[in-house]
Chains A and B, each alone.
Chain A
């Protein structure tokens, strides 16, 4: 290989490092592995449920409507959990504009 090619490559790398050229797609992403993925999905569902239940309980205590808002927010929390898992599995769209 000639010297010229090596220089172009290094120039390209340097430009990319300094953010002058936009890199096409990121190599980054969350580490895979079925165990890790399953654990992350579980955590997402649980945390959305926790937020939903806590919001529902607080709203119920505030308005004195036990148990209706709790039930409503429980359902909303589970929907949000499923949405989180869906977002987790969906490939992340990288559009930088």
Chain B
């Protein structure tokens, strides 16, 4: 894992393995799936056990659950408007799933499933299909007017329409690449500096002293990664809201 034969192996942490022994192996249940299940369980636990007291003055868990709810509710109503509240369950699920996935991935021995483009692309394609269906359902054929802004000269249509279609299709790609690239970059950096610590510490007498430097970098990086984990979940959620707002108020 670390400095075997003085090489830096930063990418093996993203390899999929088997989980749950022979039963999981027979259905290709990877540790990525296992962590998704854990995340879903953690969110459910937070929302059910956290809200169980239903106190007027909330305790720690209850106020965590309430602030998550209010945060996403504020996001949705700010971006889409009051009629956007029907999308609240979707955005809330998406936000909590990504946030918990990112945060769980920072723990030692945990696996970050948001560092796989298959997962992030799956999530963003879900958003993409939803915004397209919502726009088609609300606006019918007027939705296709989205690809040609009113007032533009007609002879520009052969240029504008393909560009707008490509721009529309690039939404799920940019949404998924952003999350995936941030998580991969962060975890690679953590692993590289952690490997430096081990390699420097093995250098002899001066080694352990020098090894403190990358260790300090890693401490700072972990803090930075906590910020990135939250920020990326937030960006994913707010971009979903912006796209939904575009779908609801077509212009």
Which A residues fall within an 8 A CB radius of B? 17-19, 22-23, 26-31, 36, 39-40, 43-44, 46-48, 50-52, 55, 73, 76-77, 79-81, 83-84, 87, 92, 95-97
Please tell me the number of chain B residues within 8 Å of chain A, measured between CB atoms. 32
Q: Which 10 A-B pairs have the closest CB atoms?
A: A19-B82, A47-B174, A47-B173, A28-B78, A26-B78, A80-B166, A48-B170, A80-B167, A47-B170, A51-B170
B173 partner, pick from A31, A51, A73, beta carbons under 8 A: A51
Which B residues fall within an 8 A CB radius of A? 74-75, 77-79, 81-83, 85, 159, 162-164, 166-167, 169-171, 173-174, 177-178, 181, 231, 234-235, 238-239, 241-242, 249, 251
Q: Is the CB of B79 within 8 A of A51?
A: no
Q: Is the CB of B177 within 8 A of A26?
A: no
Known A-B contacts A55-B166, A76-B166; A44 and B78 likewise in contact (beta carbons under 8 Å):
no
Q: Is the CB of B81 within 8 A of A22?
A: yes
B170 partner, pick from A26, A27, A80, A95, beta carbons under 8 A: A80
Q: Is the CB of A19 within 8 A of B170?
A: no
Q: How far is the CB of B203 from chain A (nearest CB, A)?
A: 33
Give the secondary structure class of B's interface: helix
Contacts of A87 in B (CB 8 A): 167
Nearest-CB residue, chain B, relative to A20: B82
Contacts of A84 in B (CB 8 A): 167, 170, 174
Q: A26-B79, A47-B173, A52-B166 are in contact. List 14 more A-B contacts (CB 8 A).
A: A17-B77, A19-B77, A28-B74, A28-B75, A28-B79, A30-B235, A43-B181, A47-B170, A47-B177, A73-B162, A76-B162, A76-B163, A83-B164, A87-B167
Q: Is the CB of B169 within 8 A of A43?
A: no
Q: How far is the CB of B185 from chain A (nearest CB, A)?
A: 10
Q: How far is the CB of B234 from chain A (nearest CB, A)?
A: 7
Nearest-CB residue, chain B, relative to A28: B78
Q: Is the CB of B162 within 8 A of A31?
A: no
Known A-B contacts A51-B170, A80-B166, A95-B251; A19 and B75 likewise in contact (beta carbons under 8 Å):
no
Contacts of A76 in B (CB 8 A): 162-163, 166
Bound-state CA distance A52–B181 (Å) is 20
The number of inter-chain residue pairs (CB within 8 angstroms) is 83
Contacts of B78 in A (CB 8 A): 23, 26-28
Bound-state CA distance A95–B246 (Å) is 11
Q: Is the CB of A19 within 8 A of B85?
A: yes
Known A-B contacts A48-B166, A51-B169, A76-B163; A92 and B242 likewise in contact (beta carbons under 8 Å):
yes
Bound-state CA distance A94–B184 (Å) is 34
Contacts of B249 in A (CB 8 A): 95-97
Bound-state CA distance A87–B167 (Å) is 10
Bound-state CA distance A26–B173 (Å) is 26
Bound-state CA distance A6–B122 (Å) is 47
Q: Is the CB of A44 within 8 A of B231?
A: no
Q: How far is the CB of A75 from chain B (nearest CB, A)?
A: 10
Q: How far is the CB of A28 from chain B (nearest CB, A)?
A: 4
Known A-B contacts A19-B82, A47-B173, A50-B173; A31 and B235 likewise in contact (beta carbons under 8 Å):
yes
Bound-state CA distance A48–B163 (Å) is 9
Contacts of A44 in B (CB 8 A): 170, 174
